[in-house]
Amino acid sequence: MVGLLGHHDELLRLVEKAFPGTEIHVRGNEISVSGTEAELAGRLFEELVLLLEGGQAIDPSSIGRTIDMVRADERPSEVLTSEVLRASKGRSVRPKTSGQKRYVDAIRDNVITFGIGPAGTGKSWLAVAMAVQALQAKQVNRIILTRPAVEAGVRLGFLPGDLMAKVDPYLRPLFDALYDMVDAEGGAKLLERGTIEVAPLAFMRGRTLNNSFIILDEAQNTTPEQMKMFLTRIGFGSKCVVTGDVTQIDIAAGRSGLLGLEPILSGIEGLAFVRLTNKDVVRHKIVQDIVDAYERAGPEAPS
């Protein structure tokens, strides 16, 4: 009951706040629910019990997402217990929202998946997790991580050092995700052997990428020409994930290769678009609040 209701009934208070027209009474190991949304609240408690029985801990942030899923007639016990990867130190990587579950399923079922959504929705992190899982299962021979080397008007030529020093700031978020999945030492060995390759998008031209799991991150900063070039690099036995946030375009004149792409490619077998929203933000709650504020401001918001 402590796991279900929280210390000092902290989680119970959050449930009561989410269902203001419902009365919840706890007596020993029994919970009774009555009121306008009694059925919904009862289903929530059933799902929470299933999560606890499955070894899932419940905290204030996860209970909010669980409530959202139940309101959307989804099953948190199915979404949150779907394991993607057993990461380093035995930590389990799982989707934390129904949108993330759709994203993971799309990656698993398609050759090319576009994950589009705001910051904090796990687009890159889950893509890297799926790539490591495919490598461990020997479904691919290597992982290729790439990003367009343009950000806020800065280009590679203005950065000091050799190629790796130049691309490091751009690819650092992918490295961080990689080291979450495999420890730093294991990641370094994979990079040294070439099993994991990192490169700016411009270095993809002229290549055919077979038996690879390819991740193009920050795809909103590609040009239409770069996007076409990248998508036509994919060879036999490969899988590709393209991630991006169309609200954070940093290229000149806003000619993003991600904008307007879905109508062009819709209907192609083995290709899927998954749109994540502010409800899929799994960083600190303030990140979701910031995303919400920008959405309310609309196109007039500064970027």
Q: What is the pLDDT of residues 190-245, one digit of tens each?
A: 988 989 988 888 888 888 899 999 999 999 999 999 999 999 999 999 999 999 99
CA 282 remoteness from chain centre: 9
Please give the Cα distance from 127 to 116 (Å, whole number).
Answer: 12
Distances in whole angstroms, Cα of residue 168 to Cα of each of 124, 154, 156, 220, 267 = 16, 13, 10, 19, 36
132 has which bridge partners?
none
Place of tokens 């036509």: 232
Rounded distance between C-alpha atoms, residue 82 and residue 96, angstroms? 9
SS3 category, 287: helix
The percent of residues in the chain predicted with pLDDT above 70, rounded, is 87
Which tens digit of pLDDT belongs to each residue from 174-185?
Answer: 888 888 888 888
**Please, which pLDDT band fits residue 152 given cuts at 50, 70 and 90?**
very low
**The domain 87-300: what is its CATH number?**
3.40.50.300
* Residue in the block written with tokens 């009951």: 1
CA distance 271 to 11: 40
Extract the tokens encoding 130. Answer: 């799926």
For residue 210, how far is the Cα from the chain centroid?
25
Cβ–Cβ contacts within 10 Å for residue 294, how many? 15
pLDDT tens digits for range 53-86? 888 888 887 888 888 889 888 888 888 878 888 7
CA distance 185 to 198: 17
Tens of pLDDT, residues 248-265:
888 776 689 999 899 999
Dihedral sign, Cα of residue 6, residue 8, residue 9, residue 10 = negative
> For 261-290, what is each residue's pLDDT tens digit?
999 998 899 999 999 988 888 766 677 678
CB 279 within 8 A of CB 122: no
Write down the pTM of the prediction. 0.79
Instruction: Give the architecture-level CATH label for domain 2-79.
Output: 2-Layer Sandwich (3.30)
Contact 148, 241 (CB under 8 A): no
Closest among 128, 120, 125 to 283, alpha carbons compared: 120
Q: What is the mean pLDDT of residues 30-41?
A: 91
Could you state, in order of their start, the residue ranges of all structural domains in the chain? 2-79, 87-300
| pLDDT at res. 198 | 83
